[in-house]
């Protein structure tokens, strides 16, 4: 465990570089196209780049020196403590050194979702007052679209070959900068990063996390899963998301190795676990199901891999079906398992977790995490309810965000009591364990990604035959939920499912509804769509279909 008096998360990197300079810190594995067909790059918005099937690695010394060069470069360009530097990259070896270099300069890192459209990127850059943007080759087209419409952004730094004319080459710029730490004074209360989260409106809010939040996240992950120097963490999700980075923090804290895998095909996950001797793997529900399905079909044979060292599989980001974990344990009986709950406002996962010792309570999200307090409160957002009574889950701990940037009203709405964060999730406590009942917000979580119904509804309302529309989540065995659009057609007009599917080609693929239902959209007397009624009407039917092996 690190010194209790540590001031910034960058001190952990510097300690690792001192104590284990020649040990491998990060490995990047980019799979060939046949193994990458279901990677994070499947999003239509991500532009194709030439295949780069390879393995690369970086030591702790190199990691720290690269971060120092980036920090010194930013300082040489006049960026100062508190300036916001946005990062728009796919997972790669450069990602984390850039992130830590921004922090070492005293600036704030602003990771951006790679799924964002050009306009969403522009919106977030403006919202966060970003002064610079670091981006990769997959995003040239989108950044070019907005390059002359982001006046607050003073510089565009490009990571990759063949730098576009509207940007500067990151690699060419940092090479001559000092590899020594700039020694910027930082405190636990200093602001470190801005992450984005959205409510039911779909408009992102900028979450301000301090260094104390990031430090606590390291301690939480290591306390829950007991990482040691000998562990190897397999990281598949995108690093812009707290769920990936903050799980890696447990290995980071103890100097353990991590592998960044660009691909989620079962064969590649098992191959990399085997070849890299990975001991800890964090999965999303669809990936775990794909692995089990591939094993059951005989597409992969466990005897072809060396997996005895794999000790922990854990899942987060969406509700976990108990039946999935039962299947997993039947195939991997020696694996520990944990469910992780959190949100970006609580510095990612671990505010609540099941605990590897509580596998008999799968279905619950668990108990308060290391250093965290929980309570379930009434509608006033403060008063605790009795056990067994449904209320809103609230969290308190060192990982609670400082605020929503430049949005005091939204901050006050979810922090009605000093130190306590309202999650927007309805829950109840039974036998000392917390169970989620429903989300207070209408966000649909599909495959670990958030979909915002209002955005999809607004798009569909532009169709000339649509009178009204509501988008809800329906249960899905693989993705957790899928988006379903209930469409009320204008009198005298016609609209078929094929028409709706064709119209929705104008949406990014991951936002397109998977199901269309033509029916009246119920609204209450104040004009609000009665989504609980719709979920009750159609959710049960979808659940029965799912249990019978049919599509929703």
**β-sheet with 54-59: strand ranges across:** 54-59, 24-30, 257-262, 232-235, 280-283, 312-316, 336-343, 348-353, 367-368
Q: Please count the structural domains in the chain.
A: 3
Distance CA 463, CA 406 (A): 35
Count CA atoms within 13 Å of residue 449 on its CB side. 19
CB 114 within 8 A of CB 121: no
CB 315 within 8 A of CB 340: yes
Q: Identify the CA nearest to 423 among candidates 355, 349, 361, 482.
A: 349
What b/e readout covers 64-89, taking b as 16+ CB neighbours within 10 angstroms? bbbbbbbbbbbbebebeeebbbbbbb
Strands 155-158 and 130-135 come out as parallel
pLDDT of residue 199: 46
CB 442 within 8 A of CB 472: yes
5 is a domain residue: no
357 is a domain residue: yes
CATH code of the domain in which 326 resides: 2.30.38.10
DSSP code per residue over 209-223: EEHHHHHHHHHHHHH
CATH code of the domain in which 528 resides: 3.30.300.30
CB 453 within 8 A of CB 472: yes
Sequence-separated (6 or more) residues with CB below 8 Å from residue 370: 219, 220, 223, 224, 350
Tokens 């308190």 belong to residue? 396
Residues 180 and 208 in one domain: yes
Residues 449 and 401 in one domain: no
pTM of the model: 0.84
Residues 173 and 272 in one domain: yes
Q: Is the dihedral of CA 320, 398, 206, 375 positive or negative?
A: positive
CB 219 within 8 A of CB 371: yes
Cβ-count burial of 183 within 10 angstroms (0-12 exposed, 13-18 middle, 19+ buried)?
A: exposed
Residues 454 and 477 in one domain: yes
Residues 133 and 57 in one domain: yes
Q: Is the dihedral of CA 551, 363, 357, 278 positive or negative?
A: positive
4 is a domain residue: no
pLDDT of residue 284: 86
Q: Is the dihedral of CA 135, 120, 199, 512 positive or negative?
A: negative
Tokens 């959710």 belong to residue? 539
Per-residue pLDDT of the chain (552 residues; tens, 9 = 90+): 555 689 999 999 999 999 999 999 999 998 875 433 333 333 334 444 444 457 899 999 999 999 999 999 999 999 999 999 999 999 999 999 999 999 999 999 999 999 889 999 999 999 999 999 999 999 999 999 999 999 999 999 999 989 999 999 998 899 889 999 998 999 999 999 999 985 444 578 999 999 999 999 999 999 999 999 999 999 998 999 888 899 999 999 999 999 999 988 999 999 999 999 999 999 988 889 889 989 998 999 999 999 999 999 999 866 677 888 999 999 999 999 999 999 999 999 999 999 999 999 998 999 999 999 999 999 999 999 999 998 999 999 999 999 999 999 999 999 999 999 999 888 899 999 999 876 667 778 888 887 878 788 879 988 999 988 999 999 988 888 999 999 999 888 999 999 999 999 999 888 999 999 999 998 764 456 888 889 888 985 555 455 455 444
Please give the distance of CA 66 from its chain centroid, rounded to a whole number: 25
82 is a domain residue: yes
Cβ-count burial of 513 within 10 angstroms (0-12 exposed, 13-18 middle, 19+ buried)?
A: buried
Q: Is the dihedral of CA 263, 268, 273, 275 positive or negative?
A: negative
130 is a domain residue: yes
pLDDT of residue 542: 55
Residues 388 and 474 in one domain: no
Give the domain extent around 339: 322-439
Residues 294 and 328 in one domain: no
Residues 119 and 56 in one domain: yes
Residues 256 and 355 in one domain: no
1 is a domain residue: no
**Domain's final residue, options 310, 341, 356:** 310
Q: What angle do CA 263, 269, 274 make, to 5 degrees?
A: 140
pLDDT of residue 38: 36
Q: First CA to last CA across the chain, in angstroms? A: 47
3 is a domain residue: no
Distance CA 189, CA 478 (A): 41
pLDDT of residue 387: 94
Q: Which two tokens stand for residue 270?
A: 């098992």
2 is a domain residue: no
Distance CA 188, CA 212 (A): 5
What b/e readout covers 324-342, taking b as 16+ CB neighbours within 10 angstroms? bbebbeeebeebbbbbbbb
Partners of 515 in beta bridges? 484
**Domain's final residue, options 310, 344, 366:** 310
Residues 281 and 360 in one domain: no
Residues 429 and 451 in one domain: no
Count CA atoms within 13 Å of residue 20 on its CB side. 19
**Domain's final residue, options 423, 439, 455:** 439
Sequence-separated (6 or more) residues with CB below 8 Å from residue 490: 464, 465, 466, 467
Residues 192 and 290 in one domain: yes
């Amino acid at each position: 465990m690190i010194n209790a008096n540590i001031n910034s998360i960058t001190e952990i990197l510097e300690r690792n570089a001192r104590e284990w300079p020649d040990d491998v810190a990060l490995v990047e594995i980019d799979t060939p196209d046949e193994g990458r067909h279901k990677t994070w790059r499947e999003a239509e918005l991500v532009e194709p780049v030439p295949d780069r099937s390879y393995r690369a690695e970086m030591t702790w010394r190199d990691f720290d020196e690269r971060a120092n060069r980036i920090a010194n470069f930013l300082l040489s360009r006049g960026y100062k403590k508190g300036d916001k530097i946005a990062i728009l990259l796919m997972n790669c070896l450069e990602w984390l050194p850039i992130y830590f270099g921004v922090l070492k300069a005293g600036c704030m890192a602003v990771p951006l979702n790679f799924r964002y459209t050009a306009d969403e990127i522009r919106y977030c850059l403006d919202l966060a007052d970003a002064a610079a943007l670091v981006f990769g080759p997959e995003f040239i087209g989108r950044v070019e679209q907005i390059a002359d419409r982001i006046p607050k952004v003073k510089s565009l730094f490009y990571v990759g070959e063949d730098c576009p004319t509207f940007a500067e080459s990151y690699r060419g710029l940092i090479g001559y900068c000092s590899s020594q730490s700039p020694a910027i004074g930082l405190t636990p209360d200093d602001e470190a990063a801005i992450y984005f989260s959205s409510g039911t409106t779909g408009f992102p809010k900028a979450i301000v996390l301090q260094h104390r939040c990031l430090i606590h996240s390291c301690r939480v992950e290591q306390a829950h899963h007991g990482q040691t120097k000998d562990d190897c963490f397999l990281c598949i999700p995108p690093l812009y998301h707290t769920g990936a980075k903050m799980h890696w923090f447990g290995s980071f804290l103890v100097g353990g190795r991590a592998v960044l895998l660009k691909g989620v095909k079962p064969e590649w996950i098992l191959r990399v676990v085997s070849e890299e001797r990975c001991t800890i793997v964090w999965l999303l529900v669809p990936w775990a199901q794909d692995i089990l399905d591939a094993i059951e079909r005989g597409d992969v044979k466990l005897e072809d891999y060396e997996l005895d060292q794999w000790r922990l599989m854990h899942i987060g980001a969406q509700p976990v079906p108990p039946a999935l974990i039962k299947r997993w344990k039947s195939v991997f009986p020696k694996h520990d398992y944990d469910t992780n709950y959190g949100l970006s406002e609580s510095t990612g996962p671990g505010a609540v977790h099941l605990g590897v010792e509580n596998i008999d309570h799968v279905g619950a999200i668990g108990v308060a995490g290391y250093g965290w307090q929980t309570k379930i409160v009434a509608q006033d957002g403060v008063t605790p309810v009795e056990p067994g009574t449904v209320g809103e889950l609230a969290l308190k701990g060192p990982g609670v965000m400082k605020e929503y940037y430049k949005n005091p009203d939204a901050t006050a709405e979810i922090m009605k009591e000093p130190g306590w964060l309202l999650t927007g999730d309805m829950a109840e406590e039974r036998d000392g364990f917390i169970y989620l009942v429903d989300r207070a917000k209408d966000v649909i979580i599909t495959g670990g990604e958030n979909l915002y119904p209002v955005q999809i509804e607004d798009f569909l309302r532009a169709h000339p035959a649509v009178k009204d529309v509501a988008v809800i989540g329906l249960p899905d065995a693989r993705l957790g939920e899928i988006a379903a659009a209930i469409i009320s057609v204008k009198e005298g007009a016609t609209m078929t499912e094929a028409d709706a599917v064709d119209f929705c080609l104008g949406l990014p693929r991951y936002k397109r509804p998977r199901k269309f239902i033509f029916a009246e959209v119920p609204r209450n007397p104040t004009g609000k769509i009665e989504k609980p009624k719709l979920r009750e009407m159609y959710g049960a039917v979808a659940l029965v279909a799912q249990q019978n092996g049919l599509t929703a």
